[in-house]
Amino acid sequence: MRSASLCVTCPNRELGFCGALLESSSQSAADELPNWQRFLTARAGDQIATRNQTSGDVFVLCSGWAFRFLQLPDGRRQILNFLLPGDLLSVVTIFDKQYQFSAKAVTGIQLSGFVRSEILARCKVSPGIQSAIGRCCVEESRVAGELVSVLGQRSADQRIAYLFLHLMNRIRARSVVRDHRYPLPLRQQLIADAVGLTPVHVSRVLGLFRDRGICVLSDNVLNVLNPAELERIGAIG
């Protein structure tokens, strides 16, 4: 019961991967896990995947926030994206048992793991899963391309505004947002690692946004006071 209900209560509405997978399975007894699925939890800060590690499971984030990243030899890291409930760790984990990235939990999280071979088998018989995987690939590729162009071409305030707008969209896809207040459990260090700036400069830019009445990030809530201005700064062509 645990994993199924968790996945049903927090599907990724944009992509619907988890939903497609579950719909393709016959209903199992309400209080036991099918043998092709397992369930994990991790605490804030725990590393949940490591580059070059292999795993027979494909994981979906059921609750909490996490992120994928690449570690550099000098100790710095680049965050590739943040994972929200309903997200696959990465859609390519369906095709490759070896992780090409590392991942950590931002908050406490719950993960649902599906046996890869089971997904691939279902894929052959279920057009629903197949197209869900296709949509995930398209989305991951689109987001990665956007991030490349933001990191390659845009200034500090544009990068941070872009990150906020991107996350705001993803949060809105999952829950109703009131008064432009978005739950955002991110330390400035994480924002820095995501947009390729130092924490010091992130603090400066956030201070600027605050002073200009654009948005305020505190207590894990992003309060957007002037959405139009944020959009103007962070929108990508």
Residue 25 identity? S
Q: Which two tokens stand for residue 86?
A: 């309903």
135 binds, among a second copy, DNA, none (CB under 5 to 8 A by kind): a second copy
State the minimum distance, in angstroms, from the CB of residue 141 to a second copy: 5
Distance (Å, rounded) from C-alpha 136 to C-alpha 41? 24
Nearer to a second copy, 148 or 208 (CB): 148
Helix and strand element counts for the chain (H, E): 8, 10
Residue of 157, 162, 215, 233 interacting with DNA (CB under 7 A): 157
H or E stretch at 38: strand 37-42
148 binds, among DNA, a second copy, none (CB under 5 to 8 A by kind): a second copy
Best CA proximity match to 168, nearest among 112, 106, 235: 235
Nearer to a second copy, 98 or 175 (CB): 98
- CA-CA-CA-CA dihedral for 130, 89, 101, 189, to nearest 10: 140
Distance (Å, rounded) from C-alpha 66 to C-alpha 44? 9
Residue of 73, 178, 200, 211 interacting with a second copy (CB under 8 A): 73
Answer yes or no whether residue 13 interacts with a second copy by CB under 8 A: no
State the minimum distance, in angstroms, from the CB of residue 228 to DNA: 21
Distance (Å, rounded) from C-alpha 47 to C-alpha 68? 10
Contacting range for DNA; rule: CB under 7 A; set: 46-54, 104-112, 129-137, 187-195: 187-195
70 binds, among DNA, a second copy, none (CB under 5 to 8 A by kind): a second copy
**Residues at the interface with DNA (CB under 7 A):** 155-157, 187-189, 196-201, 203-204, 206-207, 210, 218
